[in-house]
Structure 1
Amino acid sequence: MVTTPTSDQPFHSLISTSLATPALRADRWVSVLSVARKWAEQDSPSVRESLTKALQDLEEIERFFAYPGQALLENLKHWLTENDAKNFLRLSQRISGTIVSKKYHRDVTAWNLDDQEDDTFNRLPQAITHQKNTPYFEVLSVVPHAPSRWRLIQEEVRGVRRAEDDFVYQTVVVGNAQDALTGILLNPDIGAVVLSEGFASQGGDKNPLLEVFNSIIDFEASSKDDEILVLQVAQAIRKIRPELDIYLLSDRNIESLAGKPEVRFINRIFYQVEEPLELHLSILEGIRKRYRTPFFDNLKRYAQRPIATFHALPIARGKSVFTSNWISDMGEFYGPNLFLAESSATTGGLDSLLEPTGNIKEAQDKAAAAFGADHAFFVTNGTSTSNKMVLQALLAPGDIVILDRNCHKSHHYGCVLAGAQPYYVEAFPLVEYSMYGGVSIRTIKTALLTLKKLGELHRVKMVDLTNCTFDGHVYDTRRFMEECLAIKPDLVFLWDEAWFGFAHWSPLLRQRTGLGAAAIIEDALKQPEALQAWEEQQKLLGDNPTDEQLLDTRLVPDPRAVKLRVYQTNSVHKSMSALRQGSIVLVRDVDFAHVESQFHEAVFTHASTSPNLQIIASLDVARRQMELEGYGLVANALQISLEIRKHINSHPIISKYFKVLNSAEMIPDAYRASGLTDYNDADISWGKAVQSIRSDEFLLDPTRMTLFCGAAGFDGTTFKNILADKFNIQLNKTSRNSVLLQSNINNTRSDIALLIRVLLDISQDIEKKLQHDEDGYCRKFQSRITSLVDDLPDLPNFSRFDDRYRDDATTDALHGDIRRAFYDAYNEAECEYILLDSPDIDKRLKDGPVLVSANFVIPYPPGFPILVPGQVITQSIVDFMRKLDVKEIHGFNREAGFKLLKRTGQGGGA
C-alpha cells in the first residue's frame, strides 16, 4: 500500500492526495529530513523508531522512482542501523535536496554513492549527461519476473544506451498491473511504459489510490488472461496519462495480436526482447516526436540564416534597433534572437497562420492530438477572438444560442457579429461574495423545453458556457452535454475554458473538460448499453412526458440520433507557458467537414494578417512542455493551492481576518450531491471524494482560490492594490469583498511562504490597531466590515429584451435580436441619456415609457454585463448600479448617464 503523506492525515481519506499525488514524494523526504535533524541534535530511541518507520513508508513510494535508487537507500538505512546520526543527516539532506530541486535530472554527481564514486550502477552515463541540456526521463517496465531479476533488467537497459542519444533515461521496474498504474500516478518523470506480457494483476495490499480509477480496469476479472490484462492496462494508462508511449513485449503470435482493434493503445509490439536496441531507439523516437516543435524549430533555424528583408517590418533582423543611437537599449533588453526571428513573410521557410500548409499546420496537428481534438487552430490575439471565431463560424442571423448571461463579453459581441439571438440563462448567485457561479442543468433544460414548446427548438444551434468560470466553478460537462443532446441531438457546444486548459493533464480533472467529456461520451455511445438505457428511459417516461418529468430525470440521449459537436477554447497563456494572447480553438465535431469553409472564413475575419511569430512559437513550445512534463507541473500547481488553503484557513491569526472559501461556501448544497465541503477535509471518505469529482453538478477548480478579505475591512480592489504596491504580489480578479488567487505551473513553495508572511503582517497590523483604537479605529473598522459583509446589493437577473427586439412579445422566451439593437444605437437621433441618480429615472420606471439600454454596461467587479443592447432596465438593475462603488464600468459614463434607445423610435437595424 502507498503510505500516508503525513502521519496525521490518512492517505485514504484525502481528496487532496488524489489531486496532487506526485507532490507526495517530496513531502515525505522533507519529513524524513526534519526528523533526521532532531536525531542529530538529540539521540533518542523514539526518534530512531520514527526514522525507521519513515524509511519504510518512503520505500513504498521510492520503488516507483529511479532516483535515488536502491544503493543510496541502502546506504541511508546503513547509517540508521549503525546509529550514525551525522552521516544519516548528511545523506538524507543531499537526497531530499536533490529531489526537491530535481538536480538528478541534469547532474551526474547526484547519483554517486558516498564511498563508491566509480560505481556505474547508480549513475547516468557521463558522456550523455554532460552534454548541454540533455533532457532526462524515466521508463516504467512492467515485467513478470521475480524482483531478484529487476536489477539485471535495469543493467541490460543501460547497456544499450549510447553517448549520441539525444535523451537519457533510467528504468523503474514493477511486477503487476496495480503497481504499474500506481507508478504512473506517482512518478511524473515517467515518459514511456514497457509492458512485458505475463505480469500479475495485483500486488499485495489493496491500494486506495487506485479506487478513484476503479472504473477503468477490473483487476479481479482480468487476472486469468494475460492478453486481456495487458491490453486493459494499456487502455488504463492511456486514460490516466494519454501522453505516454506504450510498448508491448510479447512471446505470442505478435502478428495476430497486432491486428486486434484494442492494440490501438500500443505504440509498437516487439517479440519479447529480441531487439533491445530497437526498443531503446523506439522509446527515444517516441519522446523525440513529443519534443519536436515544428514551428519553433523552424523559427530558430530561420533566425540563424543570413536574410535581406524588403518587406514592411523594419524591426526584422534588428538592424534598425542595434544600430540606433536612441533605441539600442531595447535590443540589449530583449536580445538579438527576438529580432532575428521576426518577419512579415510567409515564404522562405515560414508558414501562414491564416492558411497553414507547413510547419504551423504540423504544430496545430500536434496540439490537436495532445488535447484529444480532431483539429486545432492557433490564435494570437486571445480567447476573446477564439470565441468570436467559433460563434461567427457556426451561427447565422436568426439562430438561437443558449448563453450564460455572466460569460465573457466576447460571447455577447460574438452574437452581435453573427446576428445570433442569445437566450440568456442565469447562473446561481453568490450574493454574499458579489459573484455568480454556474448555470444549472435544470435552467438549461428549462430553456430548451420552453423553446420546444414555442416551436423554436429548430432554431437553437448552440449551448455556450464558461468552464471553468473566473471564480472556479467547473461543470459536469458530460452530464450537461448528454442531457441537452437528449432534447436536441444536434446541438453544438462551445466550452469557453480560457482558465482551464491545464486540466487536460490532470487525470481527475480531464473528465470535467469539454473535450475530455466528449471522448467519454463518444466511447459510451458506441456501447450497446447506451441504446438499452435510452429505450428503458423512453418506456419510463412514456410518449408524452411533462416538462416536470423531463426536468426531474437524468436524461440520456438516443445514440442513433446524436451528432457530437464540441468546441473548446483555451487561453494557453493563462495556464501554460505561452506568451500573452496565445490562445487555441480545439474542435471535436463530427460535422466539421460541413462547416470547415465557414470556419476558415471566421478565421480570415478575425485573425491578423500579421500574426506575432513569437506567440505562435510559444503555443508550439507550451504543447511540448505539457506533453513531456505537464502531469507533474499541474500536480505541483494543485499542491500549491491545497497548501495555501490549508495554511490560511488554519492559521490562528490570519484566519481571523482572511479565509479561502471552500466548496461548501462557493457551491450550494443542491449542486454538491457528494456533500464534499473542503479539499483538505481529512474526514472525507474516498467514496465521497470520487463521487464529487465524477458526478457533482459543479466542482470547484482547486487552483482558483477566492480569498475573502471583507472580514479584514478591505474591498477587493483596495486589497489588490495593497498587495501589488506594498508587497509585490500581483493578481487581477476581485469582487466587492474578495480577491482571486491562482496557482499555476509557475508557482513554487516559496510563493506560499511569501503570501502567508504578508497576510500575517497585515493581520498583525490590524490587531495592533484594534488594540490601540486610535481615532476610533474599532468603530470605523466595524463599519467597513458591515458594509462589505452585510450590506451587499442583490445581484439582478437578466430582465428581457424590449418588445421591438423580440420575435413574439406575447411569449416568455428570453431571446432577442441583440444585433439590431446594437446598431440602432448608432443613430444618435434615436437615443437619449438619463442620469443614474436623477428622479426622472424613478418616474420612468414607475410610469413609463420603458428604459431600453443602447449598449453593454459591464461593471468591474463583478465583471458580468448588467445590461446588453436592447435590454429593458428594471428597478433592481438601477438599485444595483446605485450601490456599486467601483470606478470601472465599461459602457457607462456617470456624467452622461445611461444611454437609451428611445421607445418611440423604431431604429434602422443592420
Structure 2
Amino acid sequence: MTSGTSCDQPSRSLISTSLATPALRADRWLSVLDLARKWSGTNSADIKSCLSSSLNKLDDLERFFAYPGSQLLERLRTCLTDDDNKAFLRLAQRISTTIISRKYHRDASAWTTDDHDDEPLNRLPQAITHLKNIPYFEVLSVVPHAPSRWPVIQEEARGVRRPEDDFIYQPVIVGNAQDALTAILLNPDLGAVVLYEGFSAQSPADNPLLAVFQSIIDFTTIGDDETLVLQVAQAIKKIRPELDLYLLSDRNIEALAGKPESRFFNRIFYQMEEPLELHLSILEGIRNRYRTPFFDNLKRYAQRPIATFHALPIARGKSVFTSNWISDMGEFYGPNLFLAESSATTGGLDSLLEPTGNIKDAQAMAAQAFGADHAFFVTNGTSTSNKMVLQALLAPGDIVILDRNCHKSHHYGCVLAGALPYYVEAFPLVEYSMYGGVPLSTIKQALLTLKAQGDLERVKMVDLTNCTFDGHVYDTRRVMEECLAIKPDLIFLWDEAWFGFAHWSPLLRQRTAMGAAAALTEALAQPAAQKAWDEQVGILGQNPDDATLLNTRLVPDPRAVRLRVYQTNSVHKSMSALRQGSIVLVKDVDFEHVESQFHEAVFTHASTSPNLQIIASLDVARRQMQLEGYGLVSNALQIALEIRKQVNNHPLISKYFRVLNSAEMIPEAYRKSGMADYNDPSTSWDKALQSIKDDEFLLDPTRMTLSCGAAGFDGTTFKNILADKFNIQLNKTSRNSVLLQSNINNTRSDIALLIRVLVDIATDIDKKILDNDEIYLKSLENRVHQLVDDLPELPNFSRFDDRYREQPSAKTLHGDIRRAFYDAYKESECEYVALDSAEIDQRLQSGPTLVSANFVIPYPPGFPIMVPGQVITQAIVDFMRKLDVKEIHGFNKALGLKLLKRTEKKENS
C-alpha cells in the first residue's frame, strides 16, 4: 500500500451513527471524492483498489436512494475499469456535490450522464422538467418480486405521472422488511411507503444498524405474511410517524380494512388493479401534509383588494410606502408583510382566541404532527405557554412539584395561580457553575414526604424542564410511571422549549413528553402492565414503607392511572418559526373537564391582536417538519457530533477549549450504561442502546457546552469576543463556558468557521505564552484559577419563611409564594440591605432572618437563587458575592437586596 493511502471509511461511534444515520451517505461519498482526487493526481493502483472497495460499500447504501440511480453508478464503475481517472473525478465530484446540495430535488439535469443523452436517466416528465421548484420526494416500495423485475416496477410508477401533478417523486424498491426499515432510517427524502404483501422478513445480509430498533420489531417471531406486513407498518410508524403508508394485498382486503391495525395505512388496495389511484393517493397524502390552512388563507387574503377601516394603519402598507420618511421600512420588508396584516378575523382569516376556521384546522394538523390530542398556538412565547398551563390546571392552595432551576415563567405562573411550589433541586455541576436535571429519587421523595404529611391529595402537578438549557434530557416515561405509581392522577407539565425538534428523531422522540405519553398509553393497555402491578404488590405488599418505595423501580396500577400530559415548545427555538412562536401540546384523558378553564387561561394571556405572521410561521414550521424534518434534524445532530469531534480532537484547540461530554455533564450515578461520549468509537451497541433507553439522564447532542475557562475567558467575555470580532452569535453562558447549539439552520460551513476562529484564538494565546510576557502569564494563571478552580458552591433552595408556610414545623417545603410576592408591594413592609455590608453578616449570625422580597436571577446562569418569601442563607450570600456577571434580574446594586422585614431574633442552634 502506498504511504499515506488508506481504504478506511470515516470513523463513527455506534451511538452517533444511530442518531444521525443519513450522514453516513455523505461521509462515504466524500471519502470516494477524496480518493478520486488522489487517483487523478497519481494513478496509483492502490488508490484504485481503495476506490473499488469504497464503491462496493456505497452499493450497500445507494440501493436505498433514487439518486444517482443504477446507470450513473454504472458509469462511475466504467470510468474506474477503463482507468479514466479524470472522468471518474468529474463524475464523482458531480454526484457527491449534487447529493450534498440536494440539487437533484429541483434540477432534472442532475440525473443525466456527462454526455447529456437525449433520454435522461431516471427521466422526469418532460412537461415539468423546467420547473425547478416543484417539491420532490421519494417513495419506498417493499415488494415480493425478484430484483430482476424491480426496473419494471419503477417504470410502471413513472408511467402514471402526469404534467399537472403538483409534486414529483422517484421510486425506491427493496424486497424485505429489514431493508424497508433500513431505508426509512437512511433516506430522509422518503415521503411515502407502499407495502406489497408477500415480501420476506429478513435481508440476506446482516444489518447492525437495525439493532437500535429491535424493541420495535422482532424478526424472529414473525409469522405469516399478514402479520409481517402489519408489524412492519407499525414499526415504520414508530420510527417515522409522518410517513404515509399504502398496502397492496391479494387477500380479502375488505376484512383486513376492518381490523384495528388498518389504521396504520392511508389506503388499502387490491394489488395493482388501480395504479393511477395509488399514484393519486400518494400525491394526496403529501398534499395533505403540505397544506397550511392559515398560511394558505393569509396568502390569498394578501392578494385581495381590501379597504381597511380598523385600528391597524400599517395594514396594506399605504402609510409606509407613500411616506416621505419611513418608506425604507417598506423597501426592507417588502409589500407582502403589510398586505398580510389585519386586525380583522373575517374575510378568510380566523380568531386565535376562538378559532373556528383555518387556525382551528392548523392547530389540529399540528396536534397530529406532534402526536398530541390537542395543540394551541401561542404568539408571545413559551413563557406565556407555561403560564397558560399553570393557570388553567392549578388553583390557589394546590401544590406543584417544581424544579427550582426552571424558567422564571413557571415561578410567575405559581404566583398567578396561587399554587404552592414545592421546590426540588437538580444535581449541581459546580465546576461549570450550572445545574443539571432533578433526580427521580428527589421527585419521589418530595411526593412521599407530602404523603406522610397528609398533603398528597393537594399535589396536582409535577413541572419539569426537558431538556434543560444545558441539554439534560429526562427519561420522561420512567419519571411519569414512577410518580403515577405514588399518585395516579398527577398532571405533568414538561417545558420542552428547546427540545421541540426531538419529535423528528426516532431515538430522541421517546424522551419527549408526547413520545413518552404515547408509549405509556400503549403499554398501560397491555395485559403485561396489570401483571407487573400485581407482581409488585405481591413483592412489596399493600403498604410498603417510604424507603422501599424510594429504592424500587415502581410501576403504576393501570386501572387507576389518569394520564395527563402537557408539553410546551418554543417552535421558534428549533424549527422555522418566527420569534415568539410557541405551542402547547396536550395529551390529557381528562381534558374535557378542564377545557373551559384552559380556554379562560388562553383568554387571560393571549393578545386580542396576535401577530398573524407568527401564526403563519407556526403553520409553515409544522409543514416543513412533517415533510423534511427527519433529514433536517439528522443534519443538526451530525453538525453537533462533528463539532464535538473536531474541537476535542484538535491538538491546538483542545489545549484551551473543550466540548463537555456526557461523562462531564451527567454524574455517573445517572448514567447506568456507562456511556461517556457520543463520539467514542469503542462504545458497544449494548451500551449505546442502554444509554438511550435506560439512562436516567441523556445529553441532548445538539447542545454543546464549550468550556473556555482554561483559555482565561469567562463565558460572557468569550461570547462578546465571538460576536464582536468574528460574527459568531450564541446565547447562554456560564462562569467558564458558552453554549453552542446546532439546529436545522446550520451547515458544515458553520463548523469550518467555528473551528477556524477557535484556532485563531488558541494560536494567539499560544503566541502570548511563547513570548514569555510575565505580566500576561501571571494574569492568565490567576484568571484560569478563578474560572476553573475557585468556583462558588451552588446554593440550594433553603426554605420559605415560616409566615408563608402552613405548618412551620413540617418537613415539607411548599410555601405561599403568591402572598410573599404581593407583600413586597407594601414598601413599608420592605427594606434594603447592601450585599457587601456588615449588616448582612451580622443578621446571618443573630437575626432578624433575611427574607427575599422578590425573585433574584443572575444571568448567567439564569436560575433563581431567591424567590419571594425565601429565607436567605450564608451560601446564597457567598454565591452572590462571588458572581462577576453584570445582569442580575431583581437586584439593584445601588439599593441592595430587597427584603421583607422581620423583627424577631434568630434562635440559637
- State the AA in 2 paired with 1:157: A
Q: Superposed, which structure 2 residues align to 1:322-401 within 5 Å?
A: 322-401=321-400
Provide the rounded CA distance (Å) in 1 between the counterparts of 2:142 and 2:507.
24
- State the AA in 1 paired with 2:126: Q
CA contact (8 A) 2:7 2:53 kept: no
CA contact (8 A) 2:113 2:121 kept: no
1:114 Cα offset (Å): 2.5
Residue by residue, what CA displacement relative to the aligned partner does 1:316-370 show, whole Å, maximum 9, x if unpaired?
A: 0000000000000000000000000000001111100000000000000000000
CA contact (8 A) 1:142 1:195 kept: yes
- State the AA in 2 paired with 1:502: F
- Which residue is equivalent to 2:3? none
Q: Superposed, which structure 2 residues align to 1:304-315 within 5 Å?
A: 304-315=303-314
- Which residue is equivalent to 2:202? 202
- State the AA in 1 paired with 2:324: N
Q: Superposed, which structure 2 residues align to 1:237-316 within 5 Å?
A: 237-316=236-315
Residue by residue, what CA displacement relative to the aligned partner does 1:788-833 show, whole Å, maximum 9, x if unpaired?
A: 0000000000000000000100111100000000000011011111
TM-score calculated relative to the size of structure 2: 0.98
Structure 1: stretches of 5+ with no match in the other structure: 906-910
- State the AA in 1 paired with 2:102: K
- Which residue is equivalent to 1:175? 175
Provide the rounded CA distance (Å) in 1 between the counterparts of 2:853 and 2:129.
65
Matched, 1:802 2:792: no
Residue by residue, what CA displacement relative to the aligned partner does 1:497-519 show, whole Å, maximum 9, x if unpaired?
A: 00000000000000000110000
CA contact (8 A) 1:351 1:359 kept: yes
Q: Superposed, which structure 2 residues align to 1:145-544 within 5 Å?
A: 145-222=145-222, 224-544=223-543
Provide the rounded CA distance (Å) in 1 between the counterparts of 2:698 and 2:852.
35
- State the AA in 2 paired with 1:290: R
1:263 Cα offset (Å): 1.1
Provide the rounded CA distance (Å) in 2 between the counterparts of 1:776 and 1:422.
50
- Which residue is equivalent to 2:678? 679
Provide the rounded CA distance (Å) in 1 between the counterparts of 2:227 and 2:203.
18
Q: Secondary structure at the match of 1:859?
A: strand
- State the AA in 1 paired with 2:762: S
1:548 Cα offset (Å): 1.1
1:546 Cα offset (Å): 1.6
Provide the rounded CA distance (Å) in 1 between the counterparts of 2:835 and 2:7.
57
- Which residue is equivalent to 2:23? 23
1:126 Cα offset (Å): 3.0
Provide the rounded CA distance (Å) in 2 between the counterparts of 1:544 and 1:101.
62
- Which residue is equivalent to 1:825? 824
- Which residue is equivalent to 1:51? 51
Provide the rounded CA distance (Å) in 1 between the counterparts of 2:132 and 2:650.
45
- Structure 1 453/293 Cα, relative in aligned 2: closer, same or farther at 3 Å? same
Provide the rounded CA distance (Å) in 2 between the counterparts of 1:122 and 1:868.
65
Provide the rounded CA distance (Å) in 1 between the counterparts of 2:229 and 2:735.
55
- State the AA in 2 paired with 1:357: T
1:113 Cα offset (Å): 1.8
- State the AA in 2 paired with 1:46: D
1:205 Cα offset (Å): 2.0
CA contact (8 A) 1:860 1:889 kept: yes
CA contact (8 A) 1:128 1:162 kept: no
RMSD: 1.0
Q: Superposed, which structure 2 residues align to 1:32-111 within 5 Å?
A: 32-111=32-111
CA contact (8 A) 2:107 2:132 kept: no
Provide the rounded CA distance (Å) in 2 between the counterparts of 1:775 and 1:202.
68
Provide the aligned length of Structure 1 versus Structure 2: 899
CA contact (8 A) 1:113 1:119 kept: no
CA contact (8 A) 1:109 1:123 kept: no
- Which residue is equivalent to 2:907? none
Provide the rounded CA distance (Å) in 1 between the counterparts of 2:707 and 2:123.
49
CA contact (8 A) 1:21 1:186 kept: yes
Provide the rounded CA distance (Å) in 1 between the counterparts of 2:7 and 2:659.
22
Residue by residue, what CA displacement relative to the aligned partner does 1:701-742 show, whole Å, maximum 9, x if unpaired?
A: 000000000000000000000000000000010000000000
Provide the rounded CA distance (Å) in 1 between the counterparts of 2:99 and 2:127.
22
- State the AA in 1 paired with 2:200: A
Q: Secondary structure at the match of 2:110?
A: helix
- State the AA in 1 paired with 2:424: V
User: Could you tell which deviates more after superposition, 203-212 or 788-797?
Assistant: 203-212
Matched, 1:758 2:757: yes
1:7 Cα offset (Å): 2.7
1:116 Cα offset (Å): 5.6
CA contact (8 A) 1:178 1:201 kept: yes
Provide the rounded CA distance (Å) in 2 between the counterparts of 1:695 and 1:129.
49
- State the AA in 1 paired with 2:661: N
CA contact (8 A) 1:108 1:126 kept: no
Q: Secondary structure at the match of 1:754?
A: helix
CA contact (8 A) 2:9 2:28 kept: no
CA contact (8 A) 1:121 1:155 kept: no
Q: Secondary structure at the match of 2:473?
A: strand
CA contact (8 A) 1:482 1:556 kept: yes
Matched, 1:604 2:603: yes
- Structure 1 872/7 Cα, relative in aligned 2: closer, same or farther at 3 Å? same
Provide the rounded CA distance (Å) in 2 between the counterparts of 1:292 and 1:414.
35
Provide the rounded CA distance (Å) in 1 between the counterparts of 2:252 and 2:476.
42
CA contact (8 A) 2:128 2:163 kept: yes
Q: Secondary structure at the match of 1:330?
A: helix
Provide the rounded CA distance (Å) in 2 between the counterparts of 1:329 and 1:115.
49
Which 4+ runs in 1 deviate beyond 4 A?
8-11
- Structure 1 663/139 Cα, relative in aligned 2: closer, same or farther at 3 Å? same
Residue by residue, what CA displacement relative to the aligned partner does 1:501-557 show, whole Å, maximum 9, x if unpaired?
A: 000000000000011000000000000000000010111111331211111100000
Provide the rounded CA distance (Å) in 2 between the counterparts of 1:649 and 1:14.
18
Q: Secondary structure at the match of 1:895?
A: coil
Provide the rounded CA distance (Å) in 1 between the counterparts of 2:423 and 2:573.
27
CA contact (8 A) 1:128 1:168 kept: no
Q: Secondary structure at the match of 2:464?
A: strand
Residue by residue, what CA displacement relative to the aligned partner does 1:198-236 show, whole Å, maximum 9, x if unpaired?
A: 0000011221111010011111211x4000000000000
Q: Secondary structure at the match of 1:346?
A: coil
- Which residue is equivalent to 1:7? 8
CA contact (8 A) 2:10 2:28 kept: no
Residue by residue, what CA displacement relative to the aligned partner does 1:11-55 show, whole Å, maximum 9, x if unpaired?
A: 6x5210000001111111111010000000001111010000000
